[in-house]
Structure 1
């Protein structure tokens, strides 16, 4: 099994302080996000610095606006397909913010309580890379096998859970292609 003690074995581990215990310990949804820091830049260590509270507000004008944020994700998938894990899956990462989602039965709020957050390095205009889809499909396959309450139908986007605040991963994310990749992994 590729998941042990909440960590995905293929990922490079970088601990974020921005997490806490899940209220019920439940993992039953997955939220896909996109991030680039500064916006539109796909290199460097700014994302890791943001998620570990080490972002230098003087390093770029945009950073001054966000340096005080205390956010994280469980996993980041870089443009080259590298996976970086910040928070064990059993813990609550701070990725969804104010959120609401219809899970097929009822409306649920506060998705951080029960969702895994995966960030894709990218933006909403430029296509994501094949290496990212391959890594995403691989980790999702392992997550589906490890967490019985998590199903492929319970994978959603930040845009769907916070539609008045967020639009990521945006139209550049190819859901059909992701599903094909996931199907090949299964």
Structure 2
């Protein structure tokens, strides 16, 4: 995986372009938001997350889908349980991942953030392969956009606490933050 900061796309990963994005307002990319998702809930490697982000989810494929098939959402990246990474939206564009949100008093986090979905649930640990891919991806994103400091990496629950719980209590923030700081040489 290699991020091309000029295009905002990573080479060496799956590209699944989503129509659910628009232009970012002028300004910085300075926030990384970590989510979790699985479709149906707690079912993995189904391809349904990709279908949702590409507006192809069949509402008849599972009863849960009836209530979400019409959603128009996306994220920049998805990291599946086996560490496979897919990209849906260029980092230079505004993916629709955060919804109504606020970080440090600034509303509309989609304007200045990158969203990474981890395939999972609030109540199941994430895999070592996911952490490895997430750490490498985060390293590249932070290199391209230095405004993404360790303090500006958060969960969806941090920016939308009344609505969201992800990435959930099973996400190992300490493990992730220590690895991210080690990659940068601990200079934060």
TM-score range, shorter chain: over 0.9
Q: 1:169 to 1:109 in 2, by over 3 A?
A: same
Question: Does the CA-based 8 Å contact 2:24-2:112 persist in structure 1?
Answer: yes
What is the distance in 2 between the residues matched to 1:9 and 1:147?
A: 17
User: 1:99-138 residue pairs with structure 2 within 5 A?
Assistant: 99-102=101-104, 107-138=105-136
User: What's the TM-score, normalizing by structure 2?
Assistant: 0.93
1:72-116 CA-to-partner distances (Å, cap 9, x unmatched) read 0000000000100000000000000000111xxxx1000000000
Query: Any idea what SS the aligned residue of 1:141 has?
Result: helix
- Alignment partner of 1:51 is 2:49: no
Matched residue SS, 2:114? strand
Please, which runs of 5 or more residues in structure 2 have no aligned partner? none
Counterpart residue number, 1:21: 23
Give the TM-score of the pair, scaled to structure 1: 0.94
Deviates most, 173-182 or 119-128: 173-182
What value does the CA root-mean-square deviation take over the aligned residues?
A: 1.2
- Matched residues, number: 182
> Where in structure 1 do 4 or more consecutive aligned residues deviate above 4 Å?
none
How far apart, in 1, do the equivalents of 2:143 and 2:68 lie? 36
Contact 1:25 1:90 in 2 (8 A): no
Residues 18-167 of structure 1: pairs in structure 2 closer than 5 A: 18-102=20-104, 107-167=105-165
Aligned counterparts of 2:177 and 2:112: Cα–Cα separation in 1: 22
Point out where structure 1 has 5 or more consecutive residues left out of the alignment: none
Distance, in Å, in 2 between the alignment partners of 1:9 and 1:184 is: 24
- Contact 1:10/1:83 (8 A) holds in 2: no
Aligned to 1:3: 3
Cα distance in 2, alignment partners of residues 40 and 3 from structure 1:
30
Partners of 2:140 and 2:56 lie apart in 1 by 30
- Does the 8 Å contact 1:8/1:139 carry over to 2? no
Q: Does 1:176 align with 2:174?
A: yes
Equivalent residues of 1:25, 1:91 under 8 A apart: no
Aligned equivalents of 2:83 and 2:181: distance in 1?
18
